[in-house]
A and B are shown apart, each in its own frame.
Chain A
Amino acid sequence: DSGVTQTPKHLITATGQRVTLRCSPRSGDLSVYWYQQSLDQGLQFLIQYYNGEERAKGNILERFSAQQFPDLHSELNLSSLELGDSALYFCASSGSRSTDTQYFGPGTRLTVL
């Protein structure tokens, strides 16, 4: 158990809909990262938040957005969903040092029908 929790575990929705994925980092970790894992694109970094502020952006679509709240949990919002958004979405957290390890949650499997 990494200490990172993600809800829900599975999500099935329809094209055009909007969903919210939730992540709670390990106790004491200030950084939260979101990744998308799909068969064709592999594991891709989406976005990082550090103590409530956006720190880095990767291959995140404009239809996707994220935020980190004062209690440090984070939410990833996916809107106008397309079939190609079906994937595993992982959250990871780490401490503040540049060499700190990222610890991954169990993931949310999103299926868009």
Chain B
Amino acid sequence: GDSVTQMEGPVTLSEEAFLTINCTYTATGYPSLFWYVQYPGEGLQLLLKATKADDKGSNKGFEATYRKETTSFHLEKGSVQVSDSAVYFCALSKRNNDMRFGAGTRLTVKP
């Protein structure tokens, strides 16, 4: 069945470092791809999404490009801040139901 695999954490970076969190997917058809972020004690918030191949989602300095040839949707940010410390989830969805999430990657940014 459809699934998402993302890099295991935790990831610890210094402030202003470059961030990459890898995400690959397995799915039939053409899923939409998402990155959600979960701050401590809160629910998931949509960070960005892409609905078709070669689309780039971006928000708050984060970017991810839907690569069908490599079945990937890696999350990147050029300069992380302490406030970016959270758990990041990659997810896919077809027909907007049964959304499949990766295991989550915990990011800690140190000042």
Checking A44, A90, A97, A107 against B96 with a beta-carbon cut-off of 8 angstroms, the contacting residue is: A97
Q: How far is the CB of A107 from chain B (nearest CB, A)?
A: 5
Stretch at the interface among A11-19, A65-73, A74-82, A98-106: A98-106
A111 to chain B, nearest CB (A): 15
- 1/0 per residue, CB under 8 A from B, across A87-113: the answer is 000101010011111111111000000
Residue pair B51, A101 in contact (C-beta under 8 Å): no
Tell me the minimal C-beta distance from B41 to chain A in angstroms: 8
Indicate if A27 sits at the interface (CB-CB under 8 A): no
Interface centre among B49, B51, B94, B101 (most CB of A within 10 A): B101
- Bitwise, B88-111 to A at CB < 8 A (1) or not (0) is 010001111111111110000000
Would you call A24 an interface residue if the criterion is a C-beta within 8 Å of the partner chain's C-beta atoms? no
The answer on a CB contact under 8 Å between B43 and A90 is yes
Number of A interface residues in the complex (CB < 8 A) = 26
Q: How large is the interface on B (under 10, 10 to 19, 20 to 34, 35 or more residues)?
A: 20 to 34
Instruction: Specify which of B45, B100, B104 is in contact with A45 (CB 8 Å cutoff).
Output: B100
Give the residue of B34, B42, B51, B102 whose beta carbon is less than 8 angstroms from that of A106.
B42
Q: Is the interface of B mostly helix, strand, loop or mixed?
A: strand
**A-contact bits for B69-94, CB 8 A (1 contact / 0 none):** 00000000000000000000100011
Closest B residue by C-beta to A106: B43
Name the CB-closest residue of A to B103. Answer: A42
* A99 B103 Cβ-Cβ under 8 A: no
Question: What distance in Å separates the Cβ of A17 from its nearest Cβ neighbour in chain B?
Answer: 25
Tell me, rounded to whole Å, the shortest Cβ–Cβ distance linking B87 to chain A.
10
Alpha-carbon distance between A100 and B63 when the two chains are bound, in angstroms: 19
- B49:A33 contact, CB within 8 angstroms: no
Q: List chain A positions with a Cβ less than 8 A from chain B.
A: 2, 4, 31, 33, 42-45, 48, 55-56, 58, 90, 92, 94, 97-107
Which positions in B face A, CB cutoff 8 Å?
32, 34, 36, 42-46, 49, 51, 89, 93-104
